[in-house]
Amino acid sequence: MEISPKEEKTVLFVKPDGVKRGLVGEVIKRVESRGLKIISLKMIVASEDMARDHYPNTDGWLRGMGEKTLDNYRQYGKDPIKELGTDDPLEIGKEIAGWNVDFLTSGPIVAMVIQGIHAVDMVRKIVGKTIPAVAEMGTIRGDFSVDSPTLANIGKRAIHNVVHASGDSSEAAHELEHWFKSEEIHEYKRAEEDIMF
């Protein structure tokens, strides 16, 4: 049976930096005010295994992180070989993957399931691009973060960019099943549903 477009789901986290900076409410407000529905919400401390298996960890995904990093290095005239010891995007991606696990397990996160029309793309739009300097103003990352790979990588750590959101529908399906039990997902009707769509 085909699911209604209204029921598209995605996963959103406030990462440890966002929780420690008191940005949980701000993130929730931005999601709710767009008419998207929170159908699950919890604060957890992720284990290392859970954090590692959260990410796709495919070569394509690792290379993508590496490419974004290389773009940033180029833009700011930094030499990746000097800073990271390599300019191979896959090798860079693998290194970042380890830092991501350290970061995601470094404190509590607030994990949510968000439902609504085009929920995956809508939440990505609200969150903004990965690298804070590239994220538009008006997005969560653009408004609340200022970190950069060129700085983070000197400290051998992940970029602190406040939130995580599933990148596409297959990531969303994996993350939903990875982090949430079916009894933690709740159904209700938002008052606006009759008016907004």
Q: Which residues are catalytic?
A: 164
* Cβ at position 36, least distance to ligand ADP in Å: 18
Nearest CA-CA partner of 166 in 111, 97, 100: 111
Q: Which of 10, 40, 100, 106 binds ligand ADP (CB under 6 A)?
A: 100
Helix axes 89-104, 59-75, angle to 10 degrees: 100
> Is the sign of the CA dihedral 24, 174, 180, 105 positive or negative?
negative
Q: Which residue has the tokens 């990965």?
A: 130
Q: Which of 159, 162, 179, 180 binds ligand ADP (CB under 6 A)?
A: 159
What number of other Cβ atoms are within 10 A of residue 88's Cβ? 15
91 is a site residue for ligand ADP (CB under 6 A): no
- The region of 22-30, 41-49, 154-162, 182-190 touching ligand ADP under the rule CB under 6 A is 154-162
* Cβ at position 185, least distance to ligand ADP in Å: 22
- Which CB, 115 or 153, lies closer to ligand ADP? 153
111 is a site residue for ligand ADP (CB under 6 A): no
Residue 20, CA atoms < 13 Å, CB-side half-sphere: 11
80 is a site residue for ligand ADP (CB under 6 A): no
Cα 8–Cα 12–Cα 13 angle in degrees, nearest 5: 165
Q: Which of 10, 40, 106, 153 binds ligand ADP (CB under 6 A)?
A: 153
Q: Which of 26, 99, 107, 174 binds ligand ADP (CB under 6 A)?
A: 99
How are beta strands 37-44 and 9-14 bridged, if at all?
Answer: unpaired
C-alpha to C-alpha distance for 145 and 71, rounded to whole angstroms: 19
Q: Is 92 helix (H, G, I), strand (E, B) or coil?
A: helix
139 is a site residue for ligand ADP (CB under 6 A): no
109 is a site residue for ligand ADP (CB under 6 A): no
101 is a site residue for ligand ADP (CB under 6 A): no
* Cβ at position 129, least distance to ligand ADP in Å: 7
CA 91 to chain centre: 21
> Which residues contact ligand ADP by CB under 6 A?
64-65, 68-69, 96, 99-100, 130, 149, 152-153, 158-159, 161, 164, 167
